Structure 1
Amino acid sequence: MTGTFTTRTVDVTAGSAETMHDLTNTCSAFLREVAHGRDGLLNVFTPHATSGLAVIETGAGSDDDLLAALREVLPADGRRRDRHGRAGPGHDHMLPALVPPHATLPVVGGELQLGASQSVVLVTTGRDVPDRQVRLSFLG
């Protein structure tokens, strides 16, 4: 059986505030174009030091709760220093250790297999880069 690999980069405008951007519809549209009813895996990756990807319920408060929890765990209070001893956005650069920059998700019959309340979201705490990229890759 021969598999196919298809990849595409999509641009996301995250803005200048911490945010969660729902990518579920973007992922599903990509799979409709490339999966052609096949089973496989969708890998989602963001190449930014201050972003991560989560599979989480959105719209019921969990998204706000996640951002609040990240503010508690990674406070922007200036305690983190760069290699020159200056206060900086070190808290934002620690985000991918807690919310990884990748997710690999099952695809069955060409469709993303998420639970009823699950969404794929880009989590961004860095305020310095309003435009982000996300790479979608299907292997099936």
Structure 2
Amino acid sequence: MESEVRSYRTGGDEVVLDLTPDAASFVDGRGDGLLHVFVPHATAGLAILETGAGSDDDLLAALGDLLPADDRWRHRHGSPGHGRSHVMPALVPPYCSVPVLGGELALGTWQSICLVDLNVDNTVRDVRYSFLAG
């Protein structure tokens, strides 16, 4: 298994960040296998979805409806509603796996690997890319 950690600045806003170009560069030329992507944070997740056509904004809106940034959360520190960021990984898990064929991601036409981060208090996220050869 080969593995690498990359850091991303997510800023102070909720974000859906497309990691597909970095994932593709990580697996480039590696042959057949499986890419496993993992976020070692309690308040971030990974999703495979279409980006650029509004789906990324729709995901943030849906999470806002499901997990409002208000004072209902028992986990209280940081910005208002911070506790919801700790619940989000139960809905958007901190991992995903994608087949790799001939050194290329075997994603569907409109699929992208995205980091989902509602936590505006932590502005840098680490992502671990691991390649398991087939």
TM (norm. structure 2) is 0.93
Write out per-residue CA displacement over residues 47-72 of structure 1, whole angstroms, 9 at most, x where no aligned residue. 11111000000000100000000000
Percent of residue pairs bearing the same amino acid type? 52
Q: In structure 2, what is the equivalent of residue 24 of structure 1?
A: 20
Is 1:8 matched up with 2:1? no
SS of residue paired to 1:54: strand
Q: Name which one, 1 or 2, has greater alpha-carbon Rg.
A: 1
Q: Is the 8 A contact 2:49 2:114 kept in 1?
A: yes
Residue type of the alignment partner of 2:3 = T
Q: In structure 1, what is the equivalent of residue 83 of structure 2?
A: 90
Distance in structure 1 (CA, Å) of the matches to 2:112 and 2:44: 16
Is 1:134 matched up with 2:130? no
* Offset, 1:90: 1.1
Is 1:61 matched up with 2:54? yes
Q: Is the 8 A contact 1:81 1:88 kept in 2?
A: no
Distance in structure 1 (CA, Å) of the matches to 2:123 and 2:7: 11
Distance in structure 1 (CA, Å) of the matches to 2:46 and 2:23: 13
Q: In structure 2, what is the equivalent of residue 50 of structure 1?
A: 43
Q: Is the 8 A contact 2:18 2:114 kept in 1?
A: yes
Is 1:103 matched up with 2:99? no
SS of residue paired to 1:52: strand
Q: 1:65 to 1:88 in 2, by over 3 A?
A: closer
Q: Is the 8 A contact 2:47 2:116 kept in 1?
A: yes
Distance in structure 2 (CA, Å) of the matches to 1:115 and 1:21: 18
Q: Is the 8 A contact 2:68 2:81 kept in 1?
A: no
* Offset, 1:82: 2.8
Q: Show structure 1 runs of 4+ deviating over 4 A.
A: none
Distance in structure 1 (CA, Å) of the matches to 2:59 and 2:108: 18
Q: In structure 1, what is the equivalent of residue 117 of structure 2?
A: 124
Unpaired runs of at least 5, structure 2: none
